[in-house]
């Protein structure tokens, strides 16, 4: 009986090292692809954010430079000379002096003709039309002054008695209202018309002169 010789059977399955090498190549190729995609995405996002930020800052600066500020009015003088008299205001008048300032840096203000009215206890007692249309350049101030005379000033006996009663207490309060249609102007461009109102409360003493408390007082401004 002869001894049989058994040859070792060769394993055809891939060796563990080959499997490891094969998977490592695919793994790194996938990682390189993902890394390139991520970098490209980050670059595109950065470019988009930069453009968005640049446009936003540009329009913000443009808005700050062109955003219109309201005109500023301050009372300088307001006088009712006949208030010192003891009789009815047959020949009464009111004189006033107000400054108007354009605080915009790059925007002018175009005024239509102004109308100035005097009020006592919310009752209009007189008005006067002032100035032809004019423009106020950026960062400039002009003086609005005039007189509301007997031709337009209407004070009845009862109102005069109320004047005298307030006068005895040392203070008579009036309201000076300035109205005008205005447009904001940048170079050749002009905005639409806005109806502006400036309300100036002024206190007058027994001699008819404006009291120091009303000197250089800021007048609220609003639009309708």
Architecture of domain 72-223: Sandwich (2.60)
Q: Which of 28-32, 68-72, 81-85, 104-108 has the lowest mean pLDDT?
A: 28-32
Name the nearest CA neighbour of 90 among 148, 147, 156. Answer: 156
What is residue 220's predicted lDDT score, i.e. its pLDDT? 96
User: Please, are residues 208 and 83 in contact by the beta-carbon 8 Å criterion?
Assistant: yes
pLDDT-derived band at 77 (thresholds 50, 70, 90) equals: very high
| In the chain, domain spans | 14-67, 72-223
Q: Strand runs (DSSP E) across the chain, as ranges?
A: 72-79, 94-102, 108-111, 114-120, 123-130, 134-136, 140-148, 172-186, 189-190, 194-204, 218-219, 221-223
What is residue 33's predicted lDDT score, i.e. its pLDDT? 59
Q: At residue 146, does pLDDT exceed 50? A: yes
What is residue 42's predicted lDDT score, i.e. its pLDDT? 77
How does the average pLDDT of the chain come out, rounded?
80
Q: Which of 119-123, 128-132, 135-139 has the lowest mean pLDDT?
A: 128-132
Q: At residue 130, does pLDDT exceed 80? A: yes
pLDDT-derived band at 19 (thresholds 50, 70, 90) equals: very low
């Amino acid at each position: 009986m002869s001894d049989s010789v058994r040859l070792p059977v060769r394993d055809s399955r891939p060796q563990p090292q080959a499997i490891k090498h094969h998977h490592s190549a695919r793994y790194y190729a996938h990682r390189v692809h993902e890394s390139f995609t991520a970098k490209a995405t980050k670059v595109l996002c950065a470019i988009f954010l930069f453009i968005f930020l640049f446009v936003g800052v540009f329009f913000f600066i443009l808005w700050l430079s062109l955003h219109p500020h309201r005109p500023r009015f301050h009372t300088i003088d307001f006088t009712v000379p006949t208030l010192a008299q003891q009789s009815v205001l047959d020949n009464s008048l009111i004189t006033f002096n107000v400054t108007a300032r354009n605080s915009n840096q790059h925007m002018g203000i175009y005024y239509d003709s102004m109308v100035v009215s005097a009020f006592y206890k919310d009752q209009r007692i007189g008005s006067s039309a002032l100035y032809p249309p004019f423009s106020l350049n950026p960062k400039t101030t002009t003086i609005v002054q005039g007189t509301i005379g007997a031709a337009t000033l209407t004070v009845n006996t009862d109102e005069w008695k109320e004047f005298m009663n307030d006068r005895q207490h040392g203070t008579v309060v009036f309201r000076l209202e300035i109205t005008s249609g205005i447009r904001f102007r940048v170079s050749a461009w002009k905005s639409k018309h806005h109806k502006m109102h400036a309300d100036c409360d002024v206190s007058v003493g027994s001699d008819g002169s404006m009291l120091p408390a009303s000197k250089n007082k800021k007048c609220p401004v609003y639009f309708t």
